Structure 1
Amino acid sequence: MLWSALIFGLLGSFHCVGMCGPIAFMLPVDRKNPVKRFFQLSSYHAGRILTYSVIGLIFGVVGKSLNLFGFQQNLSIAIGVLMIAVILIPSRFLSKYSISKPIYKLVGKVKSNMGAALKKKDPATFFTIGYLNGLLPCGLVYMAVFGALASGDALQGGLYMAIFGLGTIPLMTTAIYLGNFLKGTIKQRIVKAIPVFVVIIGVLFILRGMGLGIPYISPSENVRIEKIAAQHACH
């Protein structure tokens, strides 16, 4: 299911341009020196990906703990149902239970630190801004976190979120160079397509947890046991 992380990243980047675009536009990149600008942007993206990877690592550990208790398949189904529910339940109901509300103070501190980093303009500025940027609440990041949780492994969870971060790079980099270039009907169509893809991936997570014996999509429990046994044999 690692490919779903890349899809979340590519789709999430369209959302990121709207939500985190102002941060990207304010990055003090060197517009005259292409080589220096490349390393500055690489540092910024590296900071974001590091944050995502650490988050994925943490939730991968949680998923592994649940896996040890035999909840892995049920967890995959629950996450798939949750993804679909988030899309189908009217936003006015979800707004009452926004998971970002309890961390408003933390978000305020993150933004304050980002503002301070923007003023410094030293070599560590871009990495610091990227690292802090990765901590800001984002709906698509939450979806990717669900995927990391369902991975049931710390390294897989970290890799899942790292791939998600890599998927955001092309569009975020383009936004930094060209500004808000997505306008009109194209942007509206992309925004409308995002919920559809989230539902599709949610269905795939449900199928994965059901263990229907469909290769690559819904492997049976016997196949899972064989893979785990093979991994232990290698060690």
Structure 2
Amino acid sequence: MHPELYLSYSSAFAIGLLGSTHCLGMCGGISASLSMALPVGRGFRFRQTLLLLAFNFGRIGSYSLIAAGVALLSTQAAGQWAWAGLLLMTLAGVLLIFMGLSMGQWWQGIRYIERAGAPVWRTLSPLTKRFLPVNNAGQALALGSLWGWLPCGLVYSTLGWAALQPTVPSAALTMFFFGLGTLPSMLATGYAAQWIRSIKSHQGVRKISGILLILFGLWTLPIQALLNL
């Protein structure tokens, strides 16, 4: 595997890990509800883990599917127009900066971008009711696969990164590793919701995560190439 792909996958994982406090606000509630709906008793922890993993891997699978579709278009565009690659890199960097500003609670402009996915979510969200309440792993997987389409600035920011990948499979893997980065916080939400809520609201954690996401965005911007245009 090319070293640049390793860097891309590890960076996507880091973005997911840093931005996971945002994920708690978007998906944490439904993740915690999976645990609370289970009857406490023998085998509770096993059933809880199974449902949480199924839900989250359904969510991550949707991210990879969306990335594959985006990459299918972006790789064709980059092959036909030389400027398309620069445009994608600039877009990816700007989205990450916007997400960092939102995470640090300095500016919430990313919400305007999230609205772009609202029509798709309005179509899919009624389908989630078919799998509630969740009683088995199959229902959790299906619910997670739908929940992955929830409009989310962090997902859109990383999709911009995934669109930069040279192939469709590498773009899908980039979003898969991003999803893995969000997984620890999402699992912890199910296991210890109260503790995670306290971490989510900690201003220092949000600001540090925001700054690091902004730095990722600045690193992504093709500043030198843009100056040479």
Answer yes or no: is 1:17 the counterpart of 2:24: yes
Query: Separation in 1 of the partners of 2:23 and 2:94?
Result: 24
Pair 209,174 (structure 1): closer, same or farther in 2 beyond 3 Å: farther
Output one character per residue of 1:120-163: Cα deviation in whole Å (capped at 9) or x when no partner. Answer: 63442110111111110111111111111111321111001000
Q: Is the 8 A contact 1:76 1:208 kept in 2?
A: no
Q: Is the 8 A contact 2:32 2:189 kept in 1?
A: yes
What is the number of equivalent residue pairs in this alignment? 209
Pair 85,51 (structure 1): closer, same or farther in 2 beyond 3 Å: closer
Counterpart of 1:66 (choices 77, 84, 89) is 77
Q: Which residue of 1 aligns with 2:118?
A: 104
Q: Which residue of 2 aligns with 1:4?
A: 11
- Structure of larger gyration radius: 1
Pair 143,101 (structure 1): closer, same or farther in 2 beyond 3 Å: closer
Which amino acid counterpart does residue 69 of structure 2 have in structure 1?
A: I
Please report the TM-score for the alignment, with normalisation by the length of structure 2. 0.77
Output one character per residue of 1:182-222: Cα deviation in whole Å (capped at 9) or x when no partner. Answer: 327972112112321221111221259849xxxxxxxxxxx
Q: Is the 8 A contact 2:158 2:175 kept in 1?
A: yes
Q: Is the 8 A contact 2:16 2:179 kept in 1?
A: yes
Q: Name the % identity.
A: 26
Query: Separation in 2 of the partners of 1:132 and 1:181?
Result: 27
Pair 29,150 (structure 1): closer, same or farther in 2 beyond 3 Å: farther
Q: Which residue of 1 aligns with 2:92?
A: 79
Structure 2: stretches of 5+ with no match in the other structure: 1-7
Counterpart of 2:143 (choices 117, 129, 134) is 129
Structure 1: stretches of 5+ with no match in the other structure: 212-235
Residue 113 of structure 2 aligns to a residue whose secondary structure is coil
Q: Which residue of 1 aligns with 2:3?
A: none
Which amino acid counterpart does residue 118 of structure 1 have in structure 2?
A: L
Pair 16,114 (structure 1): closer, same or farther in 2 beyond 3 Å: same
Pair 77,209 (structure 1): closer, same or farther in 2 beyond 3 Å: farther
Which amino acid counterpart does residue 13 of structure 2 have in structure 1?
A: L
Counterpart of 1:54 (choices 51, 60, 65) is 65
Q: Which residue of 1 aligns with 2:155?
A: 141
Query: Separation in 1 of the partners of 2:87 and 2:109?
Result: 26
Query: Separation in 2 of the partners of 1:135 and 1:80?
Result: 22
Which amino acid counterpart does residue 65 of structure 2 have in structure 1?
A: V
Q: Which residue of 2 aligns with 1:188?
A: 203
Q: Is the 8 A contact 2:92 2:157 kept in 1?
A: no
Which runs of 4 or more aligned residues in structure 1 lie more than 6 Å from their structure 2 counterparts after TM superposition?
none
Which amino acid counterpart does residue 3 of structure 1 have in structure 2?
A: S
Which of 101-110 and 173-182 deviates more?
A: 101-110
Task: Give runs of aligned pairs for residues 211-230 of structure 1, distance below 5 A.
Answer: none
Query: Separation in 1 of the partners of 2:223 and 2:189?
Result: 35
